[in-house]
Amino acid sequence: VGMKIDIVSVFPEYFDVLNLSLFGKAQEKGIVSVAAHNLRDWTHDVHHSVDDTPVGGGAGMVMKPAVWAECLDELLGLEPVEMGACDASEDAAADSAGVDDQPTDEQPAADASEVRIDRSEQPTAVDGIHAQPSDATDDDTQAMPQSEADAQPAAAPGTVLIFPNPSAPLFTQRDATELSHAGRLVFGCGRYEGYDARIPPYYRAQGVDVREYSIGDYVLNGGEVAVSVMLEAITRLLPGFMGNADSIVEESYTGENALLEHRQYTKPAVWRGVGVPDVLLSGDHGKVDRFRRDEALERTDRIRPDLIAKLDCRRLDKADRKT
Ligand code: 6GU
């Protein structure tokens, strides 16, 4: 079975487009299955209110933790847990994406095998994919939650809970690759000024792999667009999603030494008097590769010097150094 995706939003209709195009086909093929849920379905008041004023004052509204928790408990198959003497400011401080969370005495003894994603294509260490270190396996000797009654099975294996958040670490191709190995993704779209900060650390304490990501340095009104972006970046990497698997390998931002791509041309060789670079017509594959590599290096240096700064110099060849 394919990857299962749940999206929670106050505008679930926004995701109707996922039934179209490549994504619709992937659903038909069983590569992915998506369900968009309305957060207001988990409210009990007549106004179906999901937000409230910020504690400490200030403008805007914050999404209430109780509504999110009823929804997420149901989707993740978790029972509500009363946290003992929990200071939100401490655990919440480490609640960003991919943070290397160490288990604390307060955390339930989640089986390390429960939240594991196969990262065989990711030899480089990436923080945080395993919710628990492997020494947290012996249930009998583990520190228990506040009471026996709090113990509960963690969310299903390979489940990752993702919150778009403009104040979180940037979502990158590396994150997309890593998350493409998850069995299930649950996205929680915040609106207004965001969601109550206790939600991510609470679910992390329940043994769930929780991530928060921003998609760039600009402001959006809510998480829906950000979720669409992340979802597309992740699902296009699933086997069988794209028609042509090699079109993935040569792209920008993939691999250890990410460069912007060289430019592409198709026929005719001269269009409205504008020709393509002669070398591309030469039939000399060595020269074509060299030309494209030089162009990729030159364009990256000019447009994205931050990517050049991250390059591993040992991976450049002599000819590269000239550019
Ligand atoms: Cl993830 N959410 C919102 N609201 N704005 C953003 C963002 C996310 N990433 C960049 N801007």
Q: Which residues contact 41 (CB under 8 A, 6 or more apart)?
A: 71
Domain of residue 282 covers 257-322
287 and 226 share one domain: no
**E-assigned strand segments in the chain:** 3-9, 32-38, 51-52, 62-63, 159-164, 184-188, 209-213, 270-271, 274-275
211 and 313 share one domain: no
The reply to whether ligand 1 has any atom less than 6 angstroms from the CB of 218 is yes
Residue 40 pLDDT grade (very low, low, confident, very high; cuts 50, 70, 90): very high
Residue 120 pLDDT grade (very low, low, confident, very high; cuts 50, 70, 90): very low
Query: Is residue 250 included in any domain, yes or no?
Result: no
Domain finish residue from 235, 267, 301 = 235
The reply to whether ligand 1 has any atom less than 6 angstroms from the CB of 215 is yes
ipTM exceeding the 0.90 mark:
yes
The reply to whether ligand 1 has any atom less than 6 angstroms from the CB of 219 is yes
The reply to whether ligand 1 has any atom less than 6 angstroms from the CB of 165 is yes
Q: Pick from 36-45, 186-195, 245-254 the range whose average pLDDT is largest.
A: 36-45
160 and 222 share one domain: yes
Residue 320 pLDDT grade (very low, low, confident, very high; cuts 50, 70, 90): confident
Q: How many domains does the chain have?
A: 2
118 and 194 share one domain: yes
CB 223 within 8 A of CB 190: yes
Lowest mean pLDDT among 57-66, 107-116, 273-282: 107-116
Query: Which residues are part of a known binding site for S-adenosyl-L-methionine?
Result: 190, 215-220
The sheet carrying 209-213 orders its strands as: 32-38, 3-9, 184-188, 159-164, 209-213
Query: Is residue 80 included in any domain, yes or no?
Result: yes
Paired with 163 in beta bridges are 212
pLDDT (mean) for 182-200: 94
The pick from 167, 219, 231 for probing ligand 1's pocket by mutation, whose C-beta has the most ligand atoms within 8 angstroms, reads: 219
Query: Is residue 246 included in any domain, yes or no?
Result: no
172 and 293 share one domain: no
What is the pLDDT at residue 127?
40
62 and 207 share one domain: yes
81 and 222 share one domain: yes
**Whether pLDDT at 238 is above 90:** yes
Burial class (CB in 10 A: 0-12, 13-18, 19+), 196: buried
What CATH number should be reported for the domain holding residue 21? 3.40.1280.10
Distance of CA 290 to the CA centre of its chain: 34
Query: Is residue 106 included in any domain, yes or no?
Result: yes
Query: Is residue 244 included in any domain, yes or no?
Result: no
